[in-house]
Protein backbone atom coordinates (compact mmCIF):
# COMPACT_ATOMS: atom_id res chain seq x y z
CA UNK A 1 0.00 0.00 0.00
CA UNK A 2 1.34 3.44 -0.91
CA UNK A 3 0.91 6.30 1.59
CA UNK A 4 0.83 9.95 0.57
CA UNK A 5 3.78 11.82 2.07
CA UNK A 6 3.03 14.16 4.90
CA UNK A 7 5.81 16.52 3.86
CA UNK A 8 6.13 16.71 0.03
CA UNK A 9 9.50 18.44 0.14
CA UNK A 10 11.05 15.85 2.44
CA UNK A 11 9.46 13.03 0.44
CA UNK A 12 10.84 14.47 -2.80
CA UNK A 13 14.34 14.72 -1.30
CA UNK A 14 14.12 11.17 -0.03
CA UNK A 15 13.11 9.90 -3.47
CA UNK A 16 15.99 11.75 -5.11
CA UNK A 17 18.43 10.17 -2.68
CA UNK A 18 16.92 6.69 -3.06
CA UNK A 19 16.79 7.05 -6.83
CA UNK A 20 20.45 8.08 -6.93
CA UNK A 21 21.52 5.16 -4.76
CA UNK A 22 19.46 2.76 -6.87
CA UNK A 23 20.99 4.13 -10.08
CA UNK A 24 24.47 3.54 -8.69
CA UNK A 25 23.42 0.02 -7.74
CA UNK A 26 22.22 -0.67 -11.29
CA UNK A 27 25.59 0.40 -12.68
CA UNK A 28 27.30 -1.71 -10.06
CA UNK A 29 25.46 -4.82 -11.28
CA UNK A 30 27.84 -4.96 -14.22
CA UNK A 31 30.62 -5.70 -11.77
CA UNK A 32 28.65 -7.37 -8.98
CA UNK A 33 30.62 -10.57 -8.95
CA UNK A 34 34.10 -9.13 -9.22
CA UNK A 35 36.41 -9.99 -6.32
CA UNK A 36 33.54 -10.98 -4.07
CA UNK A 37 35.49 -13.62 -2.20
CA UNK A 38 32.43 -15.88 -2.14
CA UNK A 39 33.10 -19.55 -2.69
CA UNK A 40 30.83 -21.75 -4.83
CA UNK A 41 29.82 -23.68 -1.72
CA UNK A 42 28.17 -20.52 -0.37
CA UNK A 43 25.74 -20.31 -3.28
CA UNK A 44 23.62 -23.45 -3.03
CA UNK A 45 20.10 -23.91 -1.71
CA UNK A 46 16.98 -21.83 -1.90
CA UNK A 47 15.23 -19.34 0.36
CA UNK A 48 11.73 -19.38 1.85
CA UNK A 49 9.08 -17.64 -0.24
CA UNK A 50 8.80 -14.86 2.32
CA UNK A 51 12.54 -14.36 2.68
CA UNK A 52 13.93 -10.84 2.82
CA UNK A 53 17.54 -11.96 2.53
CA UNK A 54 19.48 -11.63 -0.71
CA UNK A 55 20.62 -14.66 -2.72
CA UNK A 56 23.86 -15.02 -0.78
CA UNK A 57 22.39 -14.44 2.67
CA UNK A 58 22.94 -10.68 2.88
CA UNK A 59 20.12 -8.51 4.16
CA UNK A 60 17.96 -7.21 1.35
CA UNK A 61 17.46 -3.44 1.50
CA UNK A 62 13.78 -2.56 1.12
CA UNK A 63 12.99 -0.67 -2.05
CA UNK A 64 10.85 2.39 -2.55
CA UNK A 65 8.16 0.35 -4.29
CA UNK A 66 6.51 -2.84 -3.08
CA UNK A 67 6.06 -5.22 -6.01
CA UNK A 68 2.88 -7.32 -6.08
CA UNK A 69 2.22 -9.97 -8.71
CA UNK A 70 -1.08 -9.41 -10.56
CA UNK A 71 -3.81 -12.01 -10.24
CA UNK A 72 -3.83 -14.77 -12.81
CA UNK A 73 -0.19 -14.65 -13.85
CA UNK A 74 1.43 -17.97 -14.69
CA UNK A 75 4.59 -18.46 -12.66
CA UNK A 76 7.02 -21.02 -11.31
CA UNK A 77 6.31 -20.37 -7.65
CA UNK A 78 5.28 -24.00 -7.16
CA UNK A 79 8.48 -25.47 -8.58
CA UNK A 80 10.58 -27.60 -6.25
CA UNK A 81 14.13 -26.69 -5.32
CA UNK A 82 16.47 -26.19 -8.27
CA UNK A 83 18.27 -29.48 -7.70
CA UNK A 84 15.08 -31.48 -8.31
CA UNK A 85 13.88 -29.71 -11.48
CA UNK A 86 13.98 -32.86 -13.58
CA UNK A 87 16.93 -35.18 -14.17
CA UNK A 88 19.16 -35.51 -17.22
CA UNK A 89 16.83 -38.01 -18.93
CA UNK A 90 13.61 -36.06 -18.45
CA UNK A 91 12.06 -34.52 -21.54
CA UNK A 92 9.38 -31.92 -21.13
CA UNK A 93 8.60 -28.84 -19.15
CA UNK A 94 10.15 -30.12 -15.92
CA UNK A 95 13.67 -30.48 -17.28
CA UNK A 96 15.91 -27.86 -15.65
CA UNK A 97 17.51 -26.97 -19.01
CA UNK A 98 14.22 -25.70 -20.40
CA UNK A 99 13.20 -23.40 -17.54
CA UNK A 100 11.46 -20.52 -19.32
CA UNK A 101 11.47 -16.97 -18.01
CA UNK A 102 9.63 -14.52 -20.21
CA UNK A 103 8.48 -11.43 -18.36
CA UNK A 104 7.83 -9.22 -21.36
CA UNK A 105 4.61 -11.01 -22.22
CA UNK A 106 3.84 -11.57 -18.50
CA UNK A 107 3.79 -15.33 -18.89
CA UNK A 108 6.61 -16.81 -16.84
CA UNK A 109 8.74 -15.40 -14.05
CA UNK A 110 10.67 -16.54 -10.99
CA UNK A 111 10.19 -15.79 -7.31
CA UNK A 112 12.84 -14.66 -4.84
CA UNK A 113 13.09 -18.25 -3.55
CA UNK A 114 14.62 -19.50 -6.81
CA UNK A 115 18.41 -19.49 -6.36
CA UNK A 116 20.30 -22.10 -8.43
CA UNK A 117 23.48 -23.83 -7.38
CA UNK A 118 26.26 -21.87 -9.06
CA UNK A 119 29.96 -21.98 -9.87
CA UNK A 120 32.32 -19.06 -10.42
CA UNK A 121 33.58 -18.75 -13.99
CA UNK A 122 35.89 -15.82 -14.69
CA UNK A 123 34.43 -13.82 -11.80
CA UNK A 124 30.87 -14.52 -12.92
CA UNK A 125 28.30 -16.97 -11.56
CA UNK A 126 26.78 -19.69 -13.73
CA UNK A 127 24.64 -22.71 -12.91
CA UNK A 128 26.94 -25.54 -11.84
CA UNK A 129 25.32 -28.24 -13.99
CA UNK A 130 26.11 -26.26 -17.16
CA UNK A 131 29.42 -24.74 -16.06
CA UNK A 132 31.67 -27.18 -17.94
CA UNK A 133 29.86 -26.49 -21.20
CA UNK A 134 30.28 -22.74 -20.75
CA UNK A 135 33.99 -23.20 -20.11
CA UNK A 136 34.29 -25.33 -23.24
CA UNK A 137 32.38 -22.77 -25.31
CA UNK A 138 34.67 -19.96 -24.20
CA UNK A 139 37.79 -22.05 -24.78
CA UNK A 140 36.67 -23.00 -28.29
CA UNK A 141 36.07 -19.36 -29.24
CA UNK A 142 39.49 -18.38 -27.99
CA UNK A 143 41.14 -21.34 -29.72
CA UNK A 144 39.54 -20.06 -32.93
CA UNK A 145 41.41 -16.79 -32.43
CA UNK A 146 38.69 -14.63 -30.88
CA UNK A 147 38.82 -12.53 -27.75
CA UNK A 148 35.59 -12.90 -25.82
CA UNK A 149 34.47 -11.90 -22.34
CA UNK A 150 31.42 -12.49 -20.16
CA UNK A 151 29.60 -9.23 -19.55
CA UNK A 152 26.74 -10.67 -17.49
CA UNK A 153 25.57 -14.02 -16.19
CA UNK A 154 23.59 -14.55 -12.96
CA UNK A 155 21.36 -11.68 -11.81
CA UNK A 156 19.65 -12.15 -8.46
CA UNK A 157 16.05 -11.35 -7.64
CA UNK A 158 17.24 -8.71 -5.15
CA UNK A 159 19.30 -6.98 -7.84
CA UNK A 160 16.33 -7.03 -10.21
CA UNK A 161 14.19 -5.47 -7.51
CA UNK A 162 16.77 -2.73 -6.95
CA UNK A 163 16.85 -2.02 -10.68
CA UNK A 164 13.05 -1.94 -10.92
CA UNK A 165 12.65 0.34 -7.91
CA UNK A 166 15.34 2.71 -9.15
CA UNK A 167 13.89 2.98 -12.65
CA UNK A 168 10.32 3.53 -11.47
CA UNK A 169 11.32 6.00 -8.76
CA UNK A 170 13.38 8.03 -11.22
CA UNK A 171 10.49 8.18 -13.68
CA UNK A 172 8.12 9.27 -10.91
CA UNK A 173 10.53 11.97 -9.76
CA UNK A 174 10.40 13.55 -13.20
CA UNK A 175 6.74 14.29 -12.54
CA UNK A 176 5.62 12.49 -15.67
CA UNK A 177 3.40 9.89 -13.99
CA UNK A 178 2.30 8.39 -10.70
CA UNK A 179 4.19 5.61 -8.94
CA UNK A 180 1.60 3.08 -10.11
CA UNK A 181 1.98 4.27 -13.69
CA UNK A 182 5.77 4.15 -13.41
CA UNK A 183 5.57 0.57 -12.14
CA UNK A 184 3.34 -0.45 -15.02
CA UNK A 185 5.56 1.33 -17.55
CA UNK A 186 8.59 -0.76 -16.63
CA UNK A 187 6.56 -3.90 -15.96
CA UNK A 188 5.34 -3.78 -19.56
CA UNK A 189 8.99 -3.69 -20.61
CA UNK A 190 9.92 -6.74 -18.57
CA UNK A 191 11.89 -5.05 -15.79
CA UNK A 192 9.88 -6.30 -12.82
CA UNK A 193 11.73 -8.54 -10.33
CA UNK A 194 11.81 -12.18 -11.38
CA UNK A 195 11.36 -11.41 -15.08
CA UNK A 196 15.02 -11.56 -16.09
CA UNK A 197 16.12 -15.04 -17.18
CA UNK A 198 19.61 -14.33 -15.86
CA UNK A 199 18.12 -15.40 -12.51
CA UNK A 200 18.08 -18.98 -13.81
CA UNK A 201 21.87 -19.01 -13.83
CA UNK A 202 21.69 -20.37 -17.40
CA UNK A 203 21.90 -17.10 -19.37
CA UNK A 204 25.14 -15.40 -20.34
CA UNK A 205 26.03 -12.27 -22.29
CA UNK A 206 29.25 -12.07 -24.31
CA UNK A 207 31.21 -9.11 -25.65
CA UNK A 208 34.42 -8.79 -27.64
CA UNK A 209 37.63 -7.09 -26.54
CA UNK A 210 36.06 -3.69 -27.19
CA UNK A 211 32.95 -4.44 -25.18
CA UNK A 212 30.87 -4.60 -28.37
CA UNK A 213 27.78 -6.79 -28.72
CA UNK A 214 26.54 -6.14 -32.25
CA UNK A 215 25.38 -8.49 -34.96
CA UNK A 216 28.33 -7.44 -37.10
CA UNK A 217 30.85 -8.39 -34.45
CA UNK A 218 32.93 -11.35 -35.74
CA UNK A 219 33.12 -12.84 -32.25
CA UNK A 220 29.35 -13.08 -31.89
CA UNK A 221 28.91 -14.33 -35.43
CA UNK A 222 31.29 -17.21 -34.65
CA UNK A 223 29.55 -17.93 -31.34
CA UNK A 224 26.12 -17.99 -32.95
CA UNK A 225 27.38 -20.42 -35.58
CA UNK A 226 28.92 -22.79 -33.01
CA UNK A 227 26.85 -22.24 -29.84
CA UNK A 228 24.67 -25.35 -30.31
CA UNK A 229 27.74 -27.57 -30.19
CA UNK A 230 28.08 -26.60 -26.53
CA UNK A 231 24.38 -26.58 -25.62
CA UNK A 232 23.70 -22.86 -26.07
CA UNK A 233 21.23 -20.94 -28.22
CA UNK A 234 21.01 -17.32 -29.30
CA UNK A 235 18.17 -16.44 -26.95
CA UNK A 236 16.70 -13.36 -28.65
CA UNK A 237 17.35 -13.62 -32.40
CA UNK A 238 16.39 -10.94 -34.86
CA UNK A 239 13.04 -11.52 -36.53
CA UNK A 240 11.56 -13.65 -33.71
CA UNK A 241 10.40 -10.83 -31.45
CA UNK A 242 6.78 -11.92 -31.85
CA UNK A 243 7.62 -15.15 -30.00
CA UNK A 244 10.04 -13.87 -27.36
CA UNK A 245 8.40 -10.51 -26.71
CA UNK A 246 11.96 -9.22 -26.49
CA UNK A 247 14.02 -7.01 -28.76
CA UNK A 248 16.83 -8.78 -30.61
CA UNK A 249 19.91 -9.12 -28.42
CA UNK A 250 22.95 -10.46 -30.28
CA UNK A 251 25.17 -11.06 -27.26
CA UNK A 252 22.65 -12.95 -25.10
CA UNK A 253 22.97 -16.75 -25.07
CA UNK A 254 21.09 -19.34 -23.07
CA UNK A 255 22.03 -22.90 -22.08
CA UNK A 256 19.41 -25.53 -22.98
CA UNK A 257 21.59 -28.60 -23.56
CA UNK A 258 23.04 -29.86 -26.82
CA UNK A 259 19.99 -31.81 -28.02
CA UNK A 260 17.57 -28.90 -27.76
CA UNK A 261 20.17 -26.36 -28.88
CA UNK A 262 20.88 -28.19 -32.12
CA UNK A 263 17.17 -28.40 -32.91
CA UNK A 264 16.44 -24.77 -32.02
CA UNK A 265 19.38 -23.33 -33.94
CA UNK A 266 18.84 -25.59 -36.96
CA UNK A 267 15.18 -24.60 -37.17
CA UNK A 268 15.89 -20.95 -36.46
CA UNK A 269 13.29 -20.87 -33.68
CA UNK A 270 13.18 -19.74 -30.07
CA UNK A 271 12.91 -21.38 -26.66
CA UNK A 272 9.25 -20.33 -26.55
CA UNK A 273 8.55 -22.16 -29.82
CA UNK A 274 10.54 -25.18 -28.69
CA UNK A 275 8.52 -25.53 -25.51
CA UNK A 276 5.29 -25.07 -27.44
CA UNK A 277 6.22 -28.24 -29.34
CA UNK A 278 5.38 -30.28 -26.24
CA UNK A 279 1.78 -31.35 -25.68
CA UNK A 280 0.07 -31.29 -22.31
CA UNK A 281 1.55 -34.67 -21.40
CA UNK A 282 5.10 -33.51 -22.03
CA UNK A 283 5.61 -35.69 -25.08
CA UNK A 284 7.63 -34.49 -28.03
CA UNK A 285 5.38 -33.68 -30.97
CA UNK A 286 8.11 -33.12 -33.54
CA UNK A 287 10.81 -35.32 -35.03
CA UNK A 288 14.30 -35.02 -33.62
Q: Span 155-182, mean pLDDT?
A: 93
**Topology of domain 90-155+200-288, per CATH?**
Muramoyl-pentapeptide Carboxypeptidase; domain 2 (3.30.1380)
Q: What is the DSSP string of the chain?
A: -----SSHHHHHHHHHHHHHHHHHHHHHGGGTTTT----GGGG-S---TT--B-TTSPBPPPPSS---PPTT----TT---GGGS--TT--STTSGGG---BTTTTSB---TT----EEEETTEEEEGGGHHHHHHHHHHHHHTT---EEEE----HHHHHHHHHHHHHHHHHTTSS-HHHHHHHHHTTT-STT--GGGGT-EEEEE-TT----TT-HHHHHHHHHGGGGTEEEEE-TT-HHHH-S--EEEEEEE--HHHHHHHHHHT--HHHHHHTB-TT--B-S--
Q: What is the DSSP string of 111-156?
A: -TT----EEEETTEEEEGGGHHHHHHHHHHHHHTT---EEEE----
In the predicted structure, residue 134 carries a pLDDT above the cut 70: yes
**Residues in a beta bridge with 203:** 254
Top-confidence residue, 238 or 39: 238
Q: How confident is the model at residue 67 (pLDDT cuts 50, 70, 90)?
A: low
In the predicted structure, residue 264 carries a pLDDT above the cut 80: yes
pLDDT tens for each residue of 145-167: 999 999 999 999 999 999 999 99
pLDDT tens for each residue of 219-256: 999 999 999 999 999 999 999 998 898 889 999 999 99
Domain-wise residue ranges, the chain: 9-36+157-195, 90-155+200-288
In the predicted structure, residue 86 carries a pLDDT above the cut 90: no
Amino acid sequence: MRLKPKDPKKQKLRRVIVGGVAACAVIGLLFYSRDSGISPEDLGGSQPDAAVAGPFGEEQIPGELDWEYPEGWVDYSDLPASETLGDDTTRGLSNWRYLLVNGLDRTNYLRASYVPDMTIIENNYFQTRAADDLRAFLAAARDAGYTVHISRSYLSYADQRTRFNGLASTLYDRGEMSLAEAEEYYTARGYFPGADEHQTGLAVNFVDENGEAKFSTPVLEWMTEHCAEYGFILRFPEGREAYTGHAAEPGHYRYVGQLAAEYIMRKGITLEEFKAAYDNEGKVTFAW
